[in-house]
Amino acid sequence: MNNTAVETPGLRIVADENIPALERFFGDLGTLRRCPGRTLSREQLSGADILLVRSVTEVNQSLLQGTPVRFVGSCTIGTDHLDIPWLERNGIHWSAAPGCNANAVVEYVFCALAALEVDWRGRSFGIVGCGNVGGLLQKRLHALGASCAVYDPWLPDNPDSAPLAQVLGRDIVCLHAPLVKGGRYPSLHMIGPEQLSHIRDGAVLISAGRGAVLDSRALLQRLKRKPCFRTVLDVWENEPEIDTELLQRVDLATPHIAGYSDDGKLAGTRQVREGLSALMDLALPPMAPETSGNSATIRIVPGNARSGEADLGAGQGGAMADLLLQMYDPRVDDRRLREAASDTEPMAQGFDRLRREYPKRLEFCHYTAPAEVLNEEELQQLAVLGLMCK
């Protein structure tokens, strides 16, 4: 749906067509026009007061110079696509949605391990970047009794802080750092050839933060060597023009959807509305809490893990892994991305299409499982992850 409009009086709003629940959260504020975020142009903003984007839109002087835009809201946790110094110098308010999809990304990590048939229990974790996502993962790991080490130069007092080389030497390494291109602690290509040498053979590397934190050419060269570690990539350098040779080498590949739960996307839209209300002093009426549209819990039982389109099996992770894969199976997204790469459609178009047409995905809290089929340890661990068993 491109360049369609909902007519109501008030503010003139231009928004990325892929932002969910726009009408619910912004339809009462003015004229709402949806546009493709990847190709958004200055001309489309010639009459706009408000710009709402996701991470695919670079918001800078080139886009906004000469437009009447007074507020930019990004319904995402990251802000590397916003030229914040330029916005602030020009008196343009901005807001983002930090933490809105952190829970979804943490759930992605555990489902990815289940898909790889990796039993995380008894393994050590390394977390690079301990903001909203990495911090929540750390909290869950503590609750699960798992060992973890953290590298985040912005948080030197973190109780699990360790040198980067030690963090990368853990059994399971999770990259959740934001993309920072300058300043005291830049993260662009922070994980390069030297850093990759610290990842042990047989380990698992999961990158679900920002693609350019990891040097993709260095990773490709490392993966060509045998033996090596297993790799899960959700974020890529140069999205949507991702490296298809690297795609062929990784164990699990998804199109930047780790945080694409319905719950997380709705939370992001709500947070930006709240930011608009506060920064523009609009005193907007409060909105009812967002829901996924599914108030009833979905009952699942071990032994039914399927892809939704093909039987992919439950792996060797036991009942716990089986239940995780029923709630979200990243192998489905992996298969779709590889099919897009082998199609006649250009890779960039296929990558964006998969994100645009992403099916509804509910977080663990919407599911329940029978307690009698699980042991006490599994019940406690699933409760930490958010699945209710009764």
What 3-state DSSP class applies to 36? coil
Which of 239, 290, 363, 378 is catalytic? The answer is 239
Residues 6+ apart with CB under 8 A from 250: 223, 231, 232, 233
Residue 197 labeled ligand binder: no
Tokens (6 digits) for 230: 């297993």
Rounded distance, CA 25 to CA 23, Å?
6
Residue 259 labeled ligand binder: yes
Tokens 């901005």, residue located:
94
Q: Which candidate, 166, 112, 10, places its Cα nearest to that of 150? A: 166
Position 276, amino acid: L
DSSP string, 180-248: --SSSS--TT-B-HHHHTTSPTT-EEEE-S-GGGB-HHHHHHHHTSSS--EEEESS-TTTTS--HHHHH
- Does the active-site annotation cover 93? no
Residues 6+ apart with CB under 8 A from 35: 2, 3, 14, 15, 16, 17, 44
Residue 108 labeled ligand binder: no
Which of 210, 230, 270, 273 is catalytic? The answer is 210
Which of 256, 273, 355, 366 is catalytic? The answer is 256
Reported residue count of the chain is: 390
- Does the active-site annotation cover 198? no
Residue 151 labeled ligand binder: no
DSSP string, 146-164: -EEEEE-TT-TT-TTB--H
Rounded distance, CA 204 to CA 228, Å?
10
- Does the active-site annotation cover 123? no
Rounded distance, CA 334 to CA 252, Å?
6
Which ranges constitute the DSSP H helices of the chain? 22-26, 61-64, 84-89, 102-115, 132-144, 164-168, 193-196, 216-223, 244-249, 262-279, 318-327, 330-342, 347-356, 376-385
Rounded distance, CA 381 to CA 362, Å?
19
Task: Say how many CA atoms lie within 13 Å of 147 toward its Cβ.
Answer: 10
Residue 260 labeled ligand binder: yes
Residue 31 labeled ligand binder: no
Q: Just list the catalytic residues.
A: 210, 239, 256
Binding residues for NAD(+), by number, are: 152, 234, 259
Binding residues for substrate, by number, are: 55, 76, 260
Binding residues, by number, are: 55, 76, 152, 234, 259-260
